[in-house]
Amino acid sequence: MDSKQKLLVIIGPTAVGKTNLSIEMAKRYNGEIISGDSMQIYRGMDIGTAKITTEEMQGIPHHLIDIKEPEENFSVAEFQQLVRAKINEIAGRGKLPIIVGGTGLYIQSVIYDYQFSDVPGDEVFRMELEERAKQIGNEALYTELQAVDPESAEQIHPNNVRRVIRALEIFHLTGKTMQDYQSKQQPDLLYDTALIGLTMDREMLYERINLRVDIMIEQGLLDEVKSLYQKGLREYQSIQAIGYKEIYDYLDGNVTWDTAVSQLKQNSRRYAKRQLTWFRNKMDVQWFDMTNVNDFAKKIAEISQYVEGKLQVKSNTY
């Protein structure tokens, strides 16, 4: 039987330090990095998504960044297909694929053997929902999904009616949310995976998130969002990202600048909390506490020891 492809996955909430760790791991294990972030795929959305810069990459190849225009949609199924192809491509070069990001559902869809086609269907119910969407509007249907399956609703844009209907259809047929249904499938890991999670003292993490927002604003976040706003981009999946929707509210004249910044920080903190909840409930993660960031070298050694034991790989001397 063929052995599984080795794969390193680094997850954790926003601002916890995934980028710095991933660069060190890529250097150490001759790796290439695949972005596991559902918003860094969009061109022209750099500051608000905390997209890694060329300088920060330190020569390490990065994939699935800047592959879509903001007006294009991006699905879990497409992400699954693209990342699995990249894993094969990177491995074919004799490199270690490293997925890094915070979008739990997307990463989960890649590393586990989920067969989306196995989820049952009900054509009559689906047609009824399609007709209701025309009559009561997309937002009302989305509100129904939020009531029965808030986790899926978090991942779906209200105007992506097809996905909203699909999630409602699964709940109608199984009495379970999309994630609950998939978890009952008990899928196997497709890869020989070292799944590392980074965590941190909650107050420290929130301070880092607030600071990150301040830095984004200094770097020109308002101008970045204005460029999208002035192009008339509005009802798109990309514009619903944290950091963009809050400033759209400001540009629309609905809130003051201070309120927009306060909401951006608050929404970012809430998102980090949801990320941690997701990872702890949905994935078998080996956690590492990054609270003592001043002792980064020691933390790197600790994580490396785990990776080498789990994947049976040796570090480079550099």
CATH class of 117-183: mainly alpha
Cβ neighbours around 89 below 10 Å, total: 14
Lowest mean pLDDT among 62-66, 127-131, 174-178, 260-264: 174-178
The C-alpha atoms of residue 63 and residue 298 are separated, in whole angstroms, by 28
Domain spans, the chain? 6-114+187-311, 117-183
Evaluate if residue 316 carries a pLDDT over 90: no
The CA-to-CA distance between both ends of the chain, in Å, stands at 35
| 245-254 pLDDT, tens digit each | 999 999 999 9
Tokens of 186: 């008990």
The residue type of 165 is I
Amino acid identity of 316?
A: N
Q: What token pair was written down for 45?
A: 């959305």
Q: Which CATH superfamily is domain 6-114+187-311 in?
A: P-loop containing nucleotide triphosphate hydrolases (3.40.50.300)
Integer Cα distance of 245 and 108 in angstroms: 26
Residue from 112, 80, 118 nearest 190 by CA: 112
Distance CA 247, CA 146 (A): 24
Find the radius of gyration of the CA atoms of the chain. 20
Tell whether the model's pLDDT for residue 317 goes beyond 60.
no
Kindly report, residue by residue over 52-97, the tens digit of the pLDDT. 999 999 999 999 999 999 999 888 888 999 999 999 999 999 999 9
Span 194-228, pLDDT tens digits:
999 999 999 999 999 999 999 999 999 999 999 99
Residue 9 DSSP SS3 = strand
- The one-letter code for the residue type at 171 is F
Look at residue 313 and tell me whether its pLDDT is greater than 50.
Answer: yes
Residue pair 22/10 in contact (Cβ under 8 Å)? The answer is: yes
Q: Residues 221, 69, 253, CA angle at the centre, nearest 5°?
A: 40
Band (pLDDT 50/70/90 cuts) for residue 44 is very high
Please write the tens of the pLDDT for every residue from 3-36.
899 999 999 999 999 999 999 999 999 999 999 9
